[in-house]
Amino acid sequence: MGMDFASARQKMVDNQIRTTDVTSHSVLKAFLTVERQKFVPATMAAVAYIDDDLEIAAASDGRPARYIMEPSPLAKLMQLAEVKKTDLVLEVGCGTGYAAALLSLLADSVVALESDEALANAATDTLSENGYDNVAVVTGELAAGYPSAAPYDVIFVNGAVEEVPTALTDQLRDGGRLVVVVGTGGAAQAHIFTRTGDDVSGRPVFNASVRLLPGFERKPEFVF
């Protein structure tokens, strides 16, 4: 008999997400709806709902491995973003498309940006096969965002960064918000940045240790 993925998904929501102060009905419903096992390699389907990051692409050619973020911080970040059904969302670092599928249930439409062409192709196929028709997967440098579809109501960075490039905050609509984890290890914190006119202000909200996305490393500073 095959694994009961619906039961595993319910346990993920009850034991990993609700217990970490995620109370948004729409976010909880999205995590109950999207089938996480379809966004991981087939050999990992049985562990798709564990409380951990899941590797979706091995390190190669100097590029770091890529992961699907563990459910709890992912859900907390989505709750922080307060995505509305009228919002246009840019997701930065879509991987195989799991977070894009979740966001598609919260927003009007999602632009899912990925730098790895193989991952982008996998995301396109999986999202299409499962009816997530309001997501457009695009390829490009993550730190550059996707200005041709800007401005965005929400920019959701699906991973940690060492610094937030102005190229991303420049693509926010007036009143728009960017959600991202800044920093590494135990010192990392989830931040929300909000654009008001020409000004962008940010604040830390909670501690969150998640994997770094490639392309957001802090530039080395010269010391004289």
Q: Is the pLDDT of residue 114 over 60?
A: yes
pLDDT of residue 1: 53
Where residue 64 falls among pLDDT bands split at 50, 70, 90?
A: confident
Contacts of 8 (CB under 8 A, 6+ apart): 48, 49
- Confidence category of residue 99, pLDDT binned at 50, 70, 90: very high
- The whole-angstrom separation of Cα 131 and Cα 125 is 10
* pLDDT single digits (tens) 123-163: 999 999 999 999 999 999 999 999 999 999 999 999 999 99
- pLDDT, residue 112, reads 98
| Overall average pLDDT of the 59-78 stretch | 92
How many angstroms separate the CA atoms of 79 and 89, rounded?
14
- What CATH number does the domain located at 5-207 have? 3.40.50.150
Predicted pLDDT of residue 222: 54
**Three-class SS of 181-206:** EECCHHHCEEEEEEEECCEEEEEEEE
Determine the Cα–Cα distance for residues 16 and 96; give it in Å rounded to an integer. Answer: 22
pTM over 0.85: yes
pLDDT of 165-216, one tens digit each? 999 999 999 999 999 999 988 889 999 999 999 999 999 999 999 999 988 8
Do the beta carbons of residue 138 and residue 95 sit within 8 Å? no
Task: Write down the domain spans for the chain.
Answer: 5-207
Q: Residue 216: what pLDDT?
A: 86
